[in-house]
Chains A and B, each alone.
Chain A
Amino acid sequence: MTTHQPWLPGDLRTLLGGLVLGATGLTIAWVGASGTTGWSSQLVWIALGGAAVIGSGLTNAAWLLRGYRSLRRRQRHLVHELRDEVTRTLAAGPEHSVGTEVEALVSGPRMSRYHRSDCLLVAGKATRPLSRGKPASRLAACGVCRP
């Protein structure tokens, strides 16, 4: 989904249309009721005003319902994707886990110790990964990152 909100442009048009109709109905009802003194004729305008409020309320409710449903649909979609990703990662085994990159061991040409790739002592330095992540016998483990 590429939109940045759970509604489509059509939903916004529907909402605005409903609100404009409601406001118009309320204005007409108010003007109509103000110009009459008879109870029966005022009741008609009251009914029109009530209908306008109910109509705009239903429009608001429909807007919120659309948004809520889009949100729930996307949540379900993401949960399924996450479940698939976890299943795929677990099935691939530890060698394929996303932590491999962080836990990989590295060393430099003139270094006497090997480090985790995220160790602060090798940050910004030219290093190369050790073959298959296993340190050579001549290298000692870093005392800071403790690989």
Chain B
Amino acid sequence: MELLKLLGALWDRVGAITAVALGGVALLLGYLGISGTSYTWEQLPYIISGGLVGVFLLGIGATLWLSADMRDEWRKLDDLDQALHALHARSSGPADRVPSTR
């Protein structure tokens, strides 16, 4: 269950790794398919199913990973924003207000 929670929280990075792995597999299969044929008309479909699909999946993986980085940075900015508003609320109070005691 902990693993599922972790995967759920890191869904974008998990998706990125999965897409990159699938892209690598597609490229490898495309290479193996092309190397096993001798005619151009047989090789071209492998360029599409292996090469282009591999590049497509690698692009999705890279986008997911960079998006995850941006989301992390956005959350950090959220924290900073809240801290700044708390600071503003404290500093804009009356100058001689009674300090809080624990």
Total A-B residue pairs with C-beta atoms closer than 8 Å?
123
Point out the residue from A22, A33, A104 that lies within 8 Å of B99, measured CB to CB: A104
User: A-facing mask of B16-27, CB < 8 A → 1, else 0?
Assistant: 000000000000
Tell me if A38 and B87 are in contact (CB < 8 A): no
| B interface residues, how many (CB within 8 angstroms) | 39
| A interface residues, how many (CB within 8 angstroms) | 59
User: B-facing mask of A28-61, CB < 8 A → 1, else 0?
Assistant: 0110011011110010011001101100110010
Q: Which residues of B contact A39 (CB under 8 A)?
A: 40-41
Tell me if B95 and A96 are in contact (CB < 8 A): yes
Point out the residue from B40, B59, B77 that lies within 8 Å of A74, measured CB to CB: B77
Tell me if B88 and A85 are in contact (CB < 8 A): yes
Q: Is B45 an interface residue (CB 8 A)?
A: yes
Mind listing 6 A-B residue pairs with CB under 8 Å?
Answer: A15-B63, A26-B48, A26-B52, A37-B41, A81-B84, A95-B96
Query: What residues of chain B have their CB less than 8 Å away from a CB belonging to chain A?
Result: 40-41, 44-45, 47-49, 52-53, 55-56, 59-60, 62-63, 66-67, 70-71, 73-75, 77-78, 80-81, 84, 87-88, 90-92, 95-96, 98-102
Query: What residues of chain A have their CB less than 8 Å away from a CB belonging to chain B?
Result: 4-6, 15, 19, 22-23, 26, 29-30, 33-34, 36-39, 42, 45-46, 49-50, 52-53, 56-57, 60, 63-64, 67-68, 71, 74-75, 78, 81-82, 85, 88-89, 92, 95-98, 100-101, 104, 106, 117-118, 122-129, 132
